[in-house]
């Protein structure tokens, strides 16, 4: 058995980011334009593992689920019925907000999923045991 150190929850990591729909200067912080049917599905999604992994919603006070590069959809925001922005995923990977991801949105999400947390000591991504 290992001693587990205290973790940082998703909610506190994302708390100071502006609403991606509002005007701001945070790079890579643009919400996906979901169909209303998707928004309804995301609204119904409870915290924790979902019936389908693409609809998993993190608990605000727990580490994030592992980000996966090949996944067709980024994780669901812990509080709002939408997928995480590239910047929110980058925050979970401990990238500084000054780091700008290049390429199209799919490539930017893949870069996040392929990354190792920039600051492993501060990582909020759940470790696999």
Q: Over the stretch 42-65, which tens digit does the pLDDT of each residue have? A: 888 888 877 777 778 889 998 888
Q: Over the stretch 80-115, which tens digit does the pLDDT of each residue have? A: 999 999 999 999 988 999 999 999 999 999 998 898
pTM of the predicted model, to two decimals? 0.84
Residue-by-residue DSSP string for the chain: --PPPP---HHHHHTTSPPTTS----TT-------HHHHHHHHHPPBB--SSGGG-B--TTSPBPPP-TT-SSPPBPSSSSSBPPHHHHHHHTT--TT----S-HHHHHHHHHHPPPSSGGG--BPPP-
């Amino acid at each position: 058995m290992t001693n587990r150190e205290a973790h940082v929850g998703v909610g506190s990591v994302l708390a100071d980011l502006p609403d991606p729909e509002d005007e701001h200067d945070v790079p890579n912080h643009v919400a996906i334009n979901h169909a209303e049917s998707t928004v309804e599905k995301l609204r119904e999604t409870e915290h924790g593992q979902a019936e389908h992994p693409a609809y998993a919603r993190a608990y605000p006070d727990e580490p994030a689920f592992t980000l996966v590069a090949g996944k067709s959809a980024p994780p669901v925001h812990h509080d709002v019925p939408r997928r995480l922005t590239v910047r929110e995923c980058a925050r979970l990977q401990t990238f500084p907000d000054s780091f700008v991801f290049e390429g199209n949105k799919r490539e930017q999400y893949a870069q996040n999923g392929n990354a190792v947390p920039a600051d492993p000591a501060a990582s909020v991504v759940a470790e696999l045991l």
